Amino acid sequence: MKKYDTPLLDELEKGPWPSFVTEIKKAAQKHEAAADELGQLEKSYKTKRGYWKHGGIVGVLGYGGGVIGRYSNLPDEFPGVAHFHTVRINQPSGFYYKSDSLREILDLWDKYGSGLTNMHGSTGDMVMLGCKTEALEPFFAEISSRGWDLGGSGSALRTPSCCMGASKCEWSNIDTMNLANTLTQAYQDELHRPMWPYKFKFKIAGCAVDCVASIARADCSIIGTWRGDIQIDQGEVENYAKQGMDIKAEIVDMCPTGCMSYESKLEINNAECSRCMHCIAKMTKALGPGPEKGASILIGSKAPIVVGSLLSWVVVPFMKMEPPYEEFKDLADKMIEWWDDNAKPRERIGELIEAKGMRPFLEAIGVEAQPQQVYEPRKDPFFFWKDEDLG
């Protein structure tokens, strides 16, 4: 195995925290790819230039995604990373693994890849870093024979992901893991056969704390919520006050809708509450979500590529979320169909709604306009009536 002098990278091993350099060095004892990865990275640090190329057509037969082509610009100098493709593996809902399933996949990765992984990528998948083109099919054959599958990439549905929700968290208003699994199974074709103008992501959070950051990272964010009044245990409210919590400053004044008051007891004007979870997350013992559970469906978030970044906004304020989730799937299909029919290449659904307006979008998906959908107040005085409106 080639050894490189890496004085700059070595700096990143100092200090009490774990270091990716240390990890890559460990992998480099077994893998030429990891060794050359260190060499190339040190060179990048020295010259302040990147040497990775993206793209190319790599993948497994029949699938249009799941592998992201990566090549070195300096294959002669660093042959071990001449190909260094990324393989996405569909993660289980909520990122749960048995230790032996992790060992299985990592052993296979030692056999076919660089031994380096990144758990988990922002999409949610397990990210296996550094595969040679010729190792892709054999690696895929082996993982798929053991029940693993690739995740999404390209103009496809990206692997749905969710918070651990109902399995471990008392705030979850929906069975996030069941829903993520159901969507993954239902949209297998869309996940593996890129057929759309661009990527599309579902992310599912059990409540507005949004541990998967669905509101910022998913074209369709599904966020658990409730109908009815926040459950209050006034005795526990008193305990918080006795233990020194400044309920006015920390809770009431921080409520974004200003719908709380605290005189002798805590009161909430539930009609004005936006279900943001601030008060519940701060006073876990005193407050709890309301009795009727479901989810808000939001649309549109994305990182800045073609135009600026967007956060998702509400399309359906409340929907029951129970298996087999037909109502949701029906809505999702309509949203995607409208986008697929109207978008330019590389245009995300949020951008398309910005370009065309909420109105044609809502008409296409058959949802009534509602106050909760207002993203921000209008800035201009124009309203374009249609002939039907004027009757």
Partner 1 sequence: MEKEELKNTIFAFVEKAKGKKKLKEKDIIKGVSADAGVEKDEVKKALREMIDVGRLMYSYGGGASSVEIPSEEYLREKGMIK
E strands, 228-312, in order: 231-232, 260-262, 266-268, 287-288, 292-299
Smallest CA-to-CA distance from 67 within 160, 182, 194, 218 is with 194
Contact 157, 147 (CB under 8 A): no
Among residues 115, 151, 154, 224, the one that binds partner 1 under rule CB under 8 A: 154
| In the complex, least distance from residue 76 CB atom to partner 1, rounded to whole angstroms | 20
Q: Would you count residue 64 as binding partner 1 (CB under 8 A)?
A: yes
Query: Which tokens in the block code for residue 308?
Result: 């600026």
Output the smallest distance, CB 325 to ligand SF4, in A: 18
Residue 121 binding partner 1, by CB under 8 A:
no
In Å, what is the CA distance from 259 to each residue of 7, 271, 296? 57, 8, 20
| Interaction partner, residue 255 (ligand SF4, partner 1, none; CB < 5-8 Å by kind) | ligand SF4
Q: Which residue in 169, 163, 154 sits closest to 201, CA to CA? A: 154
Residue 175 interacts with ligand SF4 (CB under 6 A): yes or no: no
Q: Cα–Cα distance between 40 and 51 in angstroms, integer?
A: 8
CA within 13 Å, CB half, 358:
20
Specify the DSSP class assigned to residue 346.
T
Length of the chain measured in residues: 391
Which candidate, 11, 27, 124, 10, places its Cα nearest to that of 66? 124
x/- letters, 157..196, toward partner 1 (CB under 8 A)? ------------------------------------xxxx
User: Of all residues in the chain, what percent are helix, strand and coil, respectively (each to 5)?
Assistant: 40, 20, 45
Q: Which helix (H) or strand (E) element contains residue 48?
A: none
Nearer to partner 1, 39 or 350 (CB): 350
Residue position matching structure tokens 């993982």: 143
Q: Which residue carries 């509450």 as its tokens?
A: 273
Looking at the DSSP bridge assignments, the partners of residue 126 are 89
Pick the stretch among 130-138, 227-235, 267-275, 292-300 that binds partner 1 (CB under 8 A).
130-138
Query: Does the footprint of ligand SF4 cover residue 278 (CB under 6 A)?
Result: yes
Helix residue ranges, H only, 167-246: 176-186, 188-192, 214-217, 234-242
Q: Which of 72, 93, 155, 172 binds partner 1 (CB under 8 A)?
A: 155
> Which one of the spans 17-25, 60-68, 219-227, 264-272 is the region binding partner 1 (CB under 8 A)?
60-68
Q: Write the binding mask 234 to 273 for ligand SF4: x where contact by CB under 6 A, - elsewhere.
A: ---------------------xxx-xx-------x----x
Q: How many chain residues touch partner 1 (CB under 8 A)?
A: 26
Among 172, 178, 296, 301, binds ligand SF4 (CB under 6 A): 172
10 is in the binding site of which of ligand SF4, partner 1, none (Cβ under 5 to 8 A by kind)?
none
Residue closer to ligand SF4 (CB basis): 32 or 267: 267
Look at residue 156 and give the partner it binds from partner 1, ligand SF4, none, a contact being a CB closer than 5 to 8 Å depending on partner kind. Answer: partner 1
Quote the DSSP letter at residue 302.
B
Smallest separation (angstroms) from partner 1 to the CB of 25: 32
Q: Which of 8, 74, 164, 216 contacts ligand SF4 by CB under 6 A?
A: 164
Q: Residue 89: left (phi > 0), alpha (psi -120 to 50), or beta?
A: beta
- 133 touching partner 1, by CB under 8 A: yes
Residues near partner 1 (CB under 8 A) = 55, 57, 59, 61-65, 69, 133-134, 137, 153-156, 193-198, 305, 340, 345-346
Residues near ligand SF4 (CB under 6 A) = 163-165, 169, 171-172, 205-207, 209-211, 255-257, 259-260, 268, 273-279
